């Protein structure tokens, strides 16, 4: 058995080659930490880079990884050949469907930029068809993918076109989905009145039909909008209605999501005990839903905030470490960034300078992901706040400028402008 | 046969409100049977369909006991233990199962479950389980008054012979500016000792700067220690003064120095020898610092393996101190516990003045891999959960109360144990004592790791 080595060293040995991406993810997922290190003085600063990787373990796990990669690539190739054959036979709908299936394959392993690339090709094929159905479906997926990629402007464009087509075809279901997509894209761009208007429009369409699940999801987006606007009571009322409906639908995943949101809103009002109760119940529902590591990570993060609010730093840190573990095992790099930002913020409130290691780790992870400029902007903004809190003004200023550039590049000029205004007033 | 309507059966208050029992996920037949057996003037029985709804019910009105049916659904024992941790009223869990395996019983014991009862439910078993609610309190030990030696915000606690030796070395070397190497396992208090040396030394009025070498990414450690000029490398967004310079005329504490890479060790050696450092992309700057280093590694072994420079070791180890592990200063455990409980009671607005005998036994039985740091963490969690004037076994984290319970609790029934049950219990006890480390447990048990893993699977451990 060879002795373990640090993940940060292992990653430094790996070139930035796309074909090695699954191996990079495996390295992170296979890394571990031991009890002695957990209790060392560096234990509270542990990040994924400081975890250990055992070469023998890695070699063993490679045997399981390779068939999965081969299967994945095989399915992509097969999807392409199916699409090619369908187009050759003049069946454009089948070609678009096969290409969309390849996108699903990529999205299933969280390769969202690659999924988007397949969807773009599928979209071109779908626009040439007489039937608008496949085009509407692909527009919806493009919109959802862009939302997940942190590109709400692009998502809006896809949902807008989807809406036009669905309305023309009196396709109620897709009108609701398009309006909801537009609402969420507006919410992501902090255009709250727009988000509210789109969701209300969707709710009007949903009323009277058998769209109970849509209604629940719309009410949640409405609640989030109200919350962001500062109308916390309204948010809680909407969530209460949605929770009652979701419970009658036996929809555990929706229940988990709604209760998590309720817990977050309650925490923002300072009601720590109520927040903890909602979040714990959310966890109980989550166990009944199909496994969703992203939601599990988010729930641990929300619990950490609530425990912090309840002046229970020990449990707060425990929840953050649970979130870290779920994100590592689930290969959720974006969520892992969130975890380290939260740990960094915690260090900032304790005025612990060594907490900079969490931001450095978040930056490294954001670079590994590469595609999410909004996330990158968020990381540098948080790092700037941390440095500002600890009195390093020059460094803070440099990080804020970098964040503004990333927001600008992601198309969120409002965020870039907000940050520049804030920085200017802070340094004035 | 005795009924659960018994003198020793617990009440919320003597002669007062009945104990609130929540029955979860059980079918009607089981609920009807429990209602028939239990005197409802002593026990207020309520039902809930599943764990999420039970949680809602317990938030609305805290329960003291939860009788949870572990079916085929997602609500397994782990889910229940997680769900009840920190719930209002600290409810005790009684698990009902139609498949009671030894693994489940042991898992329950480790997690502090009150009992695991087999279905179909037997009246005597339920009676005994409910009676244990009142027995789980036990004797309490008042917390002794502790006189810590304060080092700024930190404290040195303990009068054991091992600690007295440490105090003597501090007294001997603090007044000099000699470089000191503090050795000891994780959590033994190396930084507190370094602070004590600084505070009692000639540089006490100057800065004490601590750097945790294991926490900082390898590629950033050099700039953290020596500083850099703006633009010296990607990410050097502003000029940075390194920790060596920050500690000028004071003390620089290099924690976890054994984790440092060899190239950086060479630069530290140069800084120590030449008394100057070179900012990355900048000038050479003279430094005057007292160096204290600490490690939890066996540096002699690291030198032999070529991972640590021998010349640097001799530069650092002018004076060496070895800190005792917590298990080697067991006589300090009560005073350390008292100190932490008092400290956290003050911080979190609690009034805890005693600790139950069973909780103290659990503290004494635990392996404390993380030494004083782990004890501190366990007691802070316990204080936050505790809702009385005494800290109880159920307030301690699962990992701490596990070892004692597996070792000390009787078998779930009065029947003698089978050989397999005995083996399963022994394996569980050894695993608990090693903090779940399979390789260490296998070594203690004298079996191959694979054999142990197979047996753990077999017994559901």
* A36 to B369: CB separation less than 8 angstroms, yes or no: yes
Looking at chain B, the domain(s) classified CATH 1.10.8.60 span 332-397
Cα gap A80→A75, rounded to integer Å: 9
Tokens 């409906």 appear where? Answer: A245
Calculate ∠ Cα B444-B448-B453, nearest 5°: 95
The residue in chain B having the minimum alpha-carbon distance to the alpha carbon of residue A285 is B52
Question: How big is chain A, counted in residues?
Answer: 428
pLDDT for the residue numbered B5:
37
Q: Which of A12, A38, A361 sits opposite B370 (nearest CB)?
A: A38
pLDDT tens readout for residues B147-180: 888 877 788 999 899 999 999 999 999 888 899 9
Rounded mean pLDDT of B15-20?
73
Domains and CATH numbers, chain A: 1-53 (no CATH), 70-128 (no CATH), 132-248 (1.25.40.10), 251-330 (1.25.40), 332-428 (1.25.40.10)
Residues A132 and A144: beta-carbon distance below 8 Å: no
In sequence order, the 6+-apart residues with CB closer than 8 A to the CB of A379 are A337, A341, A359, A362, A363, A366, A403
Cα gap B79→B95, rounded to integer Å: 12
Note if the bond before B120 is cis, omega within 30 degrees: yes
Annotate B139-170 with b (16+ C-beta within 10 A) or e (fewer). Answer: ebbebeebeeeebeebbbbbebebbeebeebb
| Secondary structure (DSSP) of A234-262 | HHHHHHHHHHHHHHHHT-HHHHHHHHHHH
Annotate A45-73 with b (16+ C-beta within 10 A) or e (fewer). Answer: bbbbbbbbbbeebbeeeeeebeeebeebe
**Torsion sign over Cα B270, B272, B275, B276:** positive
Minimal CA separation from A379 to chain B, in Å: 14
In sequence order, the 6+-apart residues with CB closer than 8 A to the CB of B58 are B22, B66, B87, B88, B89, B91
**Phi, psi for residue B156 in degrees, rounded to 5:** -105, 120
Q: Is the pLDDT of residue B6 over 80?
A: no
Looking at chain B, the domain(s) classified CATH 3.40.50.300 span 161-322
Tokens 């280093």 appear where? Answer: B293
SS3 A137: helix
* B212 to A41: CB separation less than 8 angstroms, yes or no: yes
What is the pLDDT confidence band of residue B388, given thresholds at 50, 70 and 90? confident
* A9 to B218: CB separation less than 8 angstroms, yes or no: yes
Q: Is the pLDDT of residue B17 over 80?
A: no
CATH assignment, B332-397: 1.10.8.60
Cα dihedral value B171, B177, B178, B183, nearest 10: 60
ipTM here: 0.79
Q: Is the pLDDT of residue B15 over 70?
A: no
- The single-letter DSSP state of residue A268 is H
Annotate B313-325 with b (16+ C-beta within 10 A) or e (fewer). Answer: bebbeebebebbb
Which of B52, B227, B242 is most worth mutating to test chain A (most A CB atoms within 10 A of its CB)? B52
Cα gap B123→A321, rounded to integer Å: 43
Q: Which of A6, A8, A39 sits opposite B369 (nearest CB)?
A: A39
The residue in chain B having the minimum alpha-carbon distance to the alpha carbon of residue A3 is B305
pLDDT for the residue numbered B410:
44
pLDDT for the residue numbered B309:
96
Pairing of strands B251-255, B290-295: parallel
Q: Is the pLDDT of residue B218 over 90?
A: no
Q: Measure Cα distances from A7 to A16, A32, A304, B217, B378 in Å.
A: 16, 9, 26, 11, 29
Annotate B223-243 with b (16+ C-beta within 10 A) or e (fewer). Answer: bbbbbbbeebeeebbbbbebb
Name the residue among B2, B5, B7 with its Cα closest to residue B38: B5
**Torsion sign over Cα B184, B187, B193, B195:** positive
Cα gap A16→A270, rounded to integer Å: 44
Architecture in CATH of B161-322? 3-Layer(aba) Sandwich (3.40)
Half-sphere exposure of A359 (CA within 13 A, CB side): 25
* B259 to A315: CB separation less than 8 angstroms, yes or no: no
Residues B359 and B366: beta-carbon distance below 8 Å: no
Looking at chain B, the domain(s) classified CATH 3.40.50.2300 span 1-136
pLDDT tens readout for residues B220-250: 999 999 999 988 887 787 888 999 999 999 9
- The fold of B1-136 is Rossmann fold (3.40.50)
Q: Which of A8, A39, A392 sits opposite B186 (nearest CB)?
A: A39
Cα gap A414→A425, rounded to integer Å: 17
pLDDT for the residue numbered B10:
41
pTM of the model: 0.85
- The fold of B416-461 is Arc Repressor Mutant, subunit A (1.10.10)
What is the pLDDT confidence band of residue B12, given thresholds at 50, 70 and 90? very low
Minimal CA separation from B117 to chain A, in Å: 23
Minimal CA separation from B167 to chain A, in Å: 21
Q: Which of A284, A311, A398 sits opposite B51 (nearest CB)?
A: A284
Q: Measure Cα distances from A94 to A76, A141, A396, B446 in Å.
A: 15, 17, 53, 62
Q: Give A223 or B348, the one with higher predicted confidence.
A: A223
pLDDT for the residue numbered B19:
86
Provide the strand spans (E) within B174-297.
Answer: 180-183, 208-212, 227-228, 240-241, 251-255, 276-278, 284-286, 290-295
Mean pLDDT taken over chain B = 85
**Torsion sign over Cα B373, B378, B383, B385:** positive
SS3 B69: strand
Cβ–Cβ contacts within 10 Å for residue A165, how many?
A: 17
pLDDT tens readout for residues B39-93: 888 889 999 999 999 999 998 888 989 999 997 777 888 888 888 877 887 788 9
Tokens 């404390």 appear where? Answer: B368
* A40 to B239: CB separation less than 8 angstroms, yes or no: no
Instruction: Profile chain A (428 residues) by mean pLDDT over runs of 10 residues.
Output: 78 87 88 82 92 88 89 96 96 96 93 94 94 95 93 94 95 95 94 96 86 93 96 96 93 96 97 95 93 95 95 91 94 93 94 94 86 85 94 89 89 84 72
* A354 to B82: CB separation less than 8 angstroms, yes or no: no
Token pair for B197: 């040396």
Question: How big is chain B, counted in residues?
Answer: 461
Residues B136 and B128: beta-carbon distance below 8 Å: no
Name the residue among A268, A261, A318 with its Cα closest to residue A295: A261
Q: Is the pLDDT of residue B9 over 70?
A: no
């Amino acid at each position: 058995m060879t002795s373990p080595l640090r993940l940060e060293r292992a990653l430094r040995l790996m070139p930035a080659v796309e074909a090695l991406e699954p191996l990079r993810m495996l390295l992170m997922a296979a890394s571990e930490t031991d009890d002695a290190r957990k209790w060392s003085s560096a234990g509270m600063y542990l990040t994924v880079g400081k975890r250990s990787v055992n070469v023998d373990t890695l070699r063993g796990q490679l045997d399981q990884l390779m068939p999965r990669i081969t299967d994945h690539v095989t399915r992509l190739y097969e999807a392409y050949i199916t699409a090619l054959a369908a187009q050759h036979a003049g069946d454009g709908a089948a070609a678009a469907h096969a290409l969309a299936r390849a996108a699903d394959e990529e999205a299933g392993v969280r390769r969202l930029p690659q999924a988007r690339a397949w969807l773009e090709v599928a979209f071109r094929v779908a626009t040439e068809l007489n039937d608008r159905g496949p085009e509407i479906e692909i527009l919806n997926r493009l919109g959802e993918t862009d939302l997940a990629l942190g590109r709400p402007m692009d998502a809006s464009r896809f949902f807008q076109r989807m809406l036009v087509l669905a309305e023309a075809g009196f396709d109620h279901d897709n009108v609701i989905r398009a309006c909801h997509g537009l609402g969420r894209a507006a919410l992501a761009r902090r255009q709250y009145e727009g988000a509210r208007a789109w969701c209300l429009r969707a709710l009007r369409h949903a009323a009277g039909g058998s769209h109970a699940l849509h209604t629940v999801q719309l009410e949640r987006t409405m609640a989030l909008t109200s919350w962001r606007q500062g109308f916390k009571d309204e948010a809680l009322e909407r969530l209460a209605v949605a929770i009652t409906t979701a419970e009658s639908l036996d929809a555990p995943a929706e229940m988990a999501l709604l209760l998590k949101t309720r817990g977050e809103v309650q925490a923002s009002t300072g009601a720590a005990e109520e927040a903890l109760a909602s979040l714990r119940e959310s966890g109980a529902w989550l166990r009944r839903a199909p496994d969703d590591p992203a939601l599990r990570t988010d729930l641990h993060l929300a619990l950490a905030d609530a425990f912090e609010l309840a002046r229970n730093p020990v449990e707060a840190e425990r929840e953050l470490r649970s979130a870290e573990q779920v994100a590592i095992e689930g290969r959720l790099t974006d969520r892992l960034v969130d975890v380290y930002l939260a740990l960094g913020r915690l260090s900032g409130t304790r005025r612990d300078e060594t907490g900079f290691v969490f931001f450095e780790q978040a930056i490294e992870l954001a670079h590994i992901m590469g595609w999410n400029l909004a996330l990158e902007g968020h990381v540098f903004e948080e790092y700037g706040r941390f440095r500002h809190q600890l009195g390093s003004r020059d460094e803070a200023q440099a990080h804020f400028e970098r964040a503004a550039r990333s927001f600008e590049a992601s198309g969120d000029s409002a965020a870039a402008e907000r940050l520049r205004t804030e920085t200017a007033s802070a340094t004035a | 046969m005795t009924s659960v309507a018994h003198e020793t059966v617990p009440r919320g208050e003597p002669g007062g409100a009945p104990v609130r029992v929540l029955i979860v996920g059980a079918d009607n037949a089981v609920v009807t049977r429990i209602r028939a057996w239990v005197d409802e003037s002593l026990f207020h029985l309520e039902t809930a369909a599943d764990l999420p709804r039970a949680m809602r019910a317990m938030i609305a009105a805290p329960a003291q006991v939860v009788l949870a049916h572990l079916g085929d659904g997602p609500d397994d024992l782990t889910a229940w233990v997680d769900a009840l941790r920190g719930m209002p009223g600290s409810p005790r869990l009684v698990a009902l199962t139609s498949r009671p395996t030894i693994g489940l019983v042991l898992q329950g014991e480790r997690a502090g479950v009150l009992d695991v009862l087999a279905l179909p439910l037997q009246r005597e078993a339920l009676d005994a389980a409910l009676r244990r609610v009142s027995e789980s309190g036990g004797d309490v030990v008042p917390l002794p008054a502790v006189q810590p030696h304060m080092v700024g915000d930190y404290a040195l606690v303990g009068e054991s012979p091992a600690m007295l030796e440490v105090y003597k070395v501090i007294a001997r070397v603090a007044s000099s500016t000699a470089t000191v190497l503090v050795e000891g396992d994780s959590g033994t208090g190396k930084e507190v000792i370094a602070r004590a040396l600084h505070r009692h030394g000639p540089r006490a009025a100057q800065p004490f700067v601590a750097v945790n070498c294991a926490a900082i990414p390898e590629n950033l450690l050099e700039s953290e220690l020596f500083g850099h000029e703006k633009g010296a490398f990607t990410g050097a967004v502003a000029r940075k003064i390194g920790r060596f310079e920050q500690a000028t005329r004071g003390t620089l504490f290099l924690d976890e120095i054994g984790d440092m890479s060899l190239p950086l060790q060479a630069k530290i050696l140069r800084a120590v020898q030449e008394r100057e450092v070179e900012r990355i992309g900048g000038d050479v700057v003279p430094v005057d610092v007292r160096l204290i280093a600490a490690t939890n590694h066996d540096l002699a072994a690291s030198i032999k393996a070529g991972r640590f420079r021998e010349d640097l070791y001799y530069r650092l180890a002018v004076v060496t101190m070895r800190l005792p592990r917590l298990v080697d200063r067991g006589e300090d455990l009560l005073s350390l516990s008292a100190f932490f409980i008092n400290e956290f009671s003050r911080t979190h607005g609690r009034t805890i003045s005693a600790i139950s005998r069973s909780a103290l036994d659990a503290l004494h039985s635990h392996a404390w891999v993380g030494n004083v740091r782990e004890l501190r963490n366990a007691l802070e969690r316990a204080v936050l959960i505790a809702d009385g004037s005494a800290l109880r076994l159920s307030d301690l984290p699962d990992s701490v109360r596990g070892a004692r319970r597996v070792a000390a609790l009787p078998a779930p029934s009065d029947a003698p144990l089978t050989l397999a049950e005995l083996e399963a219990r022994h394996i569980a006890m050894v695993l608990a004592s090693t903090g779940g480390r399979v390789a260490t447990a296998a070594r203690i048990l004298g079996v191959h790791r694979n054999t142990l893993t197979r047996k753990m699977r077999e017994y559901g451990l």
